[in-house]
Structure 1
Amino acid sequence: MSGVAGQFHGTERIGGLETERSRWVAIAVFSVLGVTLFRIICLAFDRTDLFVDEAQYWLWSREMAFGAYSKPPLIGWVIRLTTWIMGGEGTFDVRLAAPILHAMTAAAMFYLGRMIYDARIGALAAIIYITLPGVSLSSLLISTDTPMLLFIVVSLILWRKLSAIRTEGGPLALILAIGLGFAVGLGFLSKYAMAFLFPFVPLAAYLDRNWRVRWSHALFAGAVATLVVTPNLWWNYAHDFATARHTVSIAHWNAAGLNFGSALGFFGAQAGVVGPFVFIAMLMALRDVRNPTVRSLCALSIPLLLLMTAQALISRAFANWAVGAYAAGLLLATPWLAARPHWLRASLILNTVAAIILPLLTIFGTELRLPNGDLALKRYLGRFALVSTAIADARRLDAHVLVASDRSFLAEMFYQLRDDHHIVPRAWNEGVEPPSSHYALLYPLQPGETANALLLSRADSLPACMKDEPPQAEWAATAGFMERATVGLWKIPASCLEGANHGP
């Protein structure tokens, strides 16, 4: 009789665990889908212009090349997919993939968290991820970090699965290794920063046997990843390694020094990327380094964070350069927060408020000004109005070519003139190597295009050869990124073109 009772209670416990697991899955699914739907609806009413990078990524979506001047090409392919599905190329269509990709990353984070811990921690990790301030901001814009984060988490899942069957072989291991290679390769094609994370995977494997895989599986996955990225490497070779040279230039290694303020600013900015409670929890979790899981997740997050802080110390680093650290870092923070309900509640409330306010700002806050008088969203406003004014004046002046050197102007010009058959957008021919932008690399002004060409420029940024030229049209920029600046159109004298290198 007691044996029957024991079986009954054992079955009851299993049933209870299944019910608990299902409850956490439902909570995660509801939270992620609810936040994502809210973001997509807000995106449909978003009143901001495409940022300069977004407009450039859109151009890559039309080119569908294996490379681009400053970053890998996958972001352009993603935009091409959403614009094809939606049947348009408006700002909503260009940005639509951002909230969807973040939802997919949250789902992957749930799966990885469940693999390492349990369904409760996986669900909390997904909810924390989808409400991170950095995720809320990047869901409003299309950026290269977004697909990279997805492929980092998918890569960690597949690596962990390969580790679970390391004593086995057969078709499953082969499929997982191929999948891992594709995930790593596609992550690299999303953003080259993917490469910073994976040197630390062997360290994680050394610290925790649950990350150890067969050398044969790892090498095979590496071979697949190499095949995936080879077309991009060839593109870079064919274009004189333009992307590599650009990457070195933005790192400012040639002006290296010791800038402690920059390093502290970068490190502090990470609390803004993931929220202060999550960032503190991630660091506090390091106290339990005797735990192999903590040690391995630390190896997959903290070294990258410290590496980017060192970059900020010797030169400069933008806050998003360390986002790859938070795929594993979030799984460091989540159990620590889960064990402290007050911290967890405070973190979710703060980050959820930010997740609600940020999208609403793009609809109702476009006229909100800071104490210094600048628009709060000035980086994302005024571009369409300025360039559309320039195009209207160029048509009035019967120009056939509109030229600019400022990348902000160029990005918006190419976007607005995408279906125009009367005016061709071109980059000012600098006559220098390497070219300063994707536009100068592939779309420089050609000799035969100069007869009816006009230069769009700020009045205080004219080339030296045009300082005495009168403007054909001139106006003050409206509210936004270049508010109150004097902008105009100028004819390009032949003397400006002498000696310039007109090659593509």
Structure 2
Amino acid sequence: MPSIVAIRSSSWVSRWAFSSIRGTSGSSMQNDVPAADRGPGLRAGLIVIAAVTLGRVLALWFNRTDLFVDEAQYWLWGQAPDFGYYSKPPMIAWVIGAVTSLFRSDAAFFVRLPAPLFHAATAAVLARIAATWIGPRAGFWAAVGWITLPVVAVGSLLVSTDTIMFPFLAAALGVWMAAASRQSAGLAALAGGLLGLAALSKYIALLYVAGAALAALSATWRPRPRVWLAALVALGLVILPNVLWNLANGFATVEHTLDNADWVRETRPLNPAGVLAFLVAQAGVLGPVMAVAFVGGVLTARGPAERLWVAFSVPIILIMTVEALLSRAYANWAVAAYAAGTLLATGWLLRRGRGWRLATVIVNGIVSVALPAATIFPHAIRTPDGRLFLHRYLGRAELSRSILAASDVLGADTIVTDSRDVAADLFHTGRDSGKRFFVPPPVGRPRNHYEQRHAVHGPLGGTVLYVGTSGPPACAPGTSPALVLSPPEGAYAGGHFGLYLVPGNCWSDQ
């Protein structure tokens, strides 16, 4: 089963990376960092990772936010393991499905539990890479640097494809460095397999192939043909099931990816303001001090290892910057750059005074404490305009419970909604209600997973409760709502949801 493969793979990442990376650098390959062997080392870094992760798991237990629409969708995918899904490759579904099956609970805590654990694994792998290629003290600071990044603090509170990708991506980086420096086809195959698992989490991981090619411009990182072949064959074999799934499903995931890069579909005017916004947002992803350290690390890269990390980070940011210019790019679209980027920042920080490292810990540490606290008391924090600070993560389950209660009163066992957000939460919140959930048939190509897998096809039987955001369904025009729900706060504040009773054969002709 895919879920068993995912759990085994994720649990082995740190062990593989540690055993494969150990002892590969040699003193001549390490970067020249003053006093790199003095101060806290790798073991202290692992203790910090464990302590922070324990705190995050405890905070997750007391988290009072609802699953976001994407999280609820990933949970639903996990109920039906497959080799691909509408908008993302399958790894996140396998992981969530395995964890919820293991603990026999679909509660939000268990849906999100992989998040802090996967970031802990990533931090441990990066710490080992830094200790190997820079020095023992770098292992500590790479661990602290990663585990306190704002993007990691956020990513430990909710489950996302970025989070699931990172341990495999970091391990692929470390093992590839070992493979290239040793000219080992066996390690190259392992690196390719790990990169395949990262790509099964998020396709952007495949840009690491370009990073390896750029790094190979240096003789130090130029693998022999058999090493390249071993890595690429292993990568291809791991991602092959998802490729075949896309072939069988009209390249659904690829089409969705092209939809995100919408300049592929239609010409748009250039967006220089979007470029500026994207680049400024990277300071929020890394934290301002770590962002400076990353840029400094790129500009002053020294030694073979740091130059390789530039090849595995800067091109990803440049590609996403072009995407921002041509259309738009969200802040997290370049996060794959920051596994290697954290290592670059660590090297730079160790060449600077203690104040830089202290500033990094203080600034990012405050964020790492404040964000979990906000999820424990989500109704206590508001923005200057009076909205709840975490409004996007509140009110979703409450609306679903209101809809389910109304369906009981109105005698409807089937609910159809035109809202992807509402459908996503209904499936999760209403998982034990005994009711069926659908969306209307799509017009043209399905626009989301629900239109692809949960659209109405043929008569439903009985009376159906239709939840509409813009009036009654097209198959029953003129129907008056039995009830209108208007949430005052949260994700749906200001919205109006009409509840309409329609016959089960309403969509029979569509």
Instruction: Tell me if both proteins adopt one fold, taking TM over 0.5 as the criterion.
Output: yes
Instruction: Tell me whether 313-322 or 469-478 shows the greater mean CA deviation.
Output: 469-478
Is the 2:193–2:234 Cα contact (8 Å) retained in structure 1?
A: yes
Match 1:98 to one of 108, 112, 115:
115
Matched position secondary structure for 1:490: strand
User: What is the match of residue 168 of structure 2?
Assistant: 151
Question: Counterpart of 1:280 in 2: which secondary structure?
Answer: helix
**Deviation readout 1:189-214 (Å, 9 max, x if unpaired):** 001111123212111121361x3322
SS in structure 1 at match of 2:79: helix
Compared with structure 1, are the counterparts of its residues 495 and 40 closer, same or farther at alpha carbon in structure 2 (3 Å cutoff)? closer
- The whole-number CA distance in structure 2 between the counterparts of 1:218 and 1:277 is 37
Counterpart contact for 2:471–2:498, Cα < 8 Å: no
Which secondary structure state, in structure 2, belongs to the residue aligned with residue 446 of structure 1?
A: coil
Q: What is the DSSP-based 3-state SS (H/G/I as helix, E as strand, rest coil) of the residue aligned with 1:483? A: coil
SS at match of 1:282: helix
**Matched residue SS, 1:93:** helix
Q: Which has the higher helix share?
A: 1
Q: CA deviation at 1:461?
A: 5.6
Which residue matches 2:276?
Answer: 264
Q: In the alignment, which residue of structure 1 is the partner of 2:322?
A: 310
Higher mean C-alpha displacement, 366-375 vs 436-445: 366-375
> Could you tell me how far 1:40 is from its partner in structure 2?
0.2
2:423 is the alignment partner of 1:414? no
- CA separation of 1:290 and 1:486: change in aligned 2, threshold 3 A: closer
Instruction: Tell me, yes or no, if structure 1 residue 445 matches structure 2 residue 456.
Output: yes
- Match runs of 1:34-53 below 5 Å: 34-53=51-70
Which residue of 2 is the match for residue 359 of structure 1?
372
For the pair shown, which has the larger CA radius of gyration, 1 or 2? 1
Check whether the contact 1:297–1:331 (CA below 8 A) recurs between aligned residues: yes
What is the CA deviation profile of residues 409-461 of structure 1, one whole-angstrom value per residue up to 9, with x for unaligned ones? 1101111232333x10111112x221011111011112220542121122x36
The CA deviation at 1:278 is 0.9
Residues 463 and 91 (structure 1 numbering): CA distance in 2 closer, same or farther, change over 3 Å? same
Tell me if the contact between 1:386 and 1:478 (Cα under 8 Å) persists in the aligned partners.
no
Given that 1:242 and 1:434 are in contact with CA atoms closer than 8 Å, whether structure 2 keeps it comes out as no
Could you tell me how far 1:255 is from its partner in structure 2?
4.3
Is the deviation greater in 61-70 or in 400-409? 400-409
- Note closer, same or farther for the CA distance 1:494–1:359 as it changes in structure 2 (3 Å cut): closer
1 CA distance for matches of 2:359 and 2:133? Answer: 25
Q: How many angstroms apart in 2 are the aligned matches of 1:192 and 1:61?
A: 19
TM-score by length of 2: 0.89
Matches within 5 A, 1:115-194: 115-166=132-183, 173-174=185-186, 176-194=187-205
Q: 2:459 touches 2:506 (CA, 8 Å); kept in 1?
A: no
CA contact (8 A) 1:112 1:157 kept: yes
Is contact 1:109-1:153 (8 Å) kept? yes
Q: Give the one of 270, 283, 289 matched to 1:277.
A: 289
Q: Name which of 379, 384, 393 aligns with 2:392.
A: 379
Distance in 2, matches of 1:378 and 1:222, equals 44
- How far 1:111 moved relative to its partner? 1.1
In 2, distance between residues paired with 1:122 and 1:304? 24
Q: What is the alpha-carbon distance in structure 1 between the residues aligned to residue 395 and residue 91 of structure 2? A: 28
Match 2:341 to one of 303, 314, 329: 329
Contact 1:155–1:184 (CA under 8 A) maintained in structure 2: yes
1:181: Cα distance to partner?
A: 2.4
Q: Which secondary structure state, in structure 1, belongs to the residue aligned with residue 316 of structure 2?
A: helix
The structural deviation recorded for 1:290 is: 6.2
Structure 1 118/302 Cα, relative in aligned 2: closer, same or farther at 3 Å? same
**Matching residue of 1:12:** none
**Could you tell me which residue of structure 1 aligns to residue 436 of structure 2?**
424
Question: What percent of counterpart residues are identical?
Answer: 39
Alignment partner, residue 254 of structure 2: 244
TM-score (norm 1): 0.90
CA distance in 1, matches of 2:502, 2:259: 30
The answer on 1:393 being equivalent to 2:410 is: no
**In 2, Cα distance between the equivalents of 1:252 and 1:265?**
18
Counterpart of 2:16 in structure 1 is none
Q: Deviations over 1:205-256 (max 9, x none)?
A: 21361x3322212212211221111111111111111111111112211243
The answer to whether structure 1 residue 497 and structure 2 residue 503 are counterparts is: no
Tell me the residue number matched to 1:198. 209
Q: CA deviation at 1:288?
A: 2.3
> CA–CA distance in 2 between the matches of 1:102 and 1:69?
25
Paired residue secondary structure (1:449): coil
1:469 paired to 2:479: yes
Q: Unaligned 5+ residue runs, structure 1? A: 1-18
Give the RMSD, CA atoms, in angstroms: 2.1
Q: Which of the residues 235, 247, 259 maps onto 1:225?
A: 235
Secondary structure of 2:491's counterpart equals: coil
| Counterpart residue identity of residue 464, structure 2 | A
Give yes or no for the alignment of 1:69 onto 2:80: no
- 1:375 CA displacement: 0.8
- Correspondence for 1:486: 496
SS in 1 for 2:459: helix
Partners of 2:329 and 2:101 lie apart in 1 by 35
Q: Secondary structure at the match of 1:425?
A: strand
In 2: Cα distance, 1:132 partner to 1:64 partner: 32
Q: Deviations over 1:47-92 (max 9, x none)?
A: 0000000000001110111110000011011111211222211000
Indicate the larger mover: 237-246 or 469-478. 469-478
Q: Secondary structure at the match of 2:246?
A: helix
CA distance in 2: counterparts of 1:127 and 1:343, whole angstroms: 13
Shift of 1:22: 9.2
Task: Give the partner amino acid of 1:407.
Answer: R
Quote the Cα distance in structure 1 between the aligned partners of 2:460 and 2:508: 14
Matched with 2:416 is 403
Give the conservation status (yes or no) of the 8 Å contact 1:185–1:226: yes
What does the per-residue CA deviation read over 1:133-190, in whole Å, with 9 as the maximum and x for residues that have no partner?
0000010000000121111110011111112321xx6xxx42x233222201111100
Query: What is the deviation of 1:477?
Result: 1.4
Q: Deviations over 1:268-289 (max 9, x none)?
A: 0000001111111111223325
Counterpart-to-counterpart distance in 2, 1:226 and 1:216: 15
Output the amino acid matched with 2:290: V
Equivalenced residue count is: 474
Match of 1:14 in 2: none
Conserved? CA contact 1:390–1:488, under 8 Å: no
Worse overlay, 326-335 or 54-63? 326-335
Gap change, CA 1:310 and 1:67, over 3 Å in 2: same
* Counterparts in 2 of 1:120 and 1:22: CA distance versus 1, 3 Å: closer
Q: Secondary structure at the match of 2:438?
A: strand
Whichever residue aligns with residue 259 of structure 1, its letter is N
Change (3 A) 1:413 1:330: same
- The change in CA–CA distance for 1:471 and 1:132 in structure 2 (over 3 A counts) is same
State the alpha-carbon separation in 2 of the partners of residues 465 and 50 from structure 1: 32
Cα-to-partner distance string for 1:271-318 (whole Å, 9 max, x where unaligned) = 000111111111122332564433322111111101101100110111
DSSP 3-state at the match of 2:356: helix
Query: Which residue of the partner structure matches residue 54 of structure 1?
Result: 71
Aligned pair partner of 1:455 in 466, 469, 473 = 466
The yes-or-no answer on 1:294 pairing with 2:306 is yes
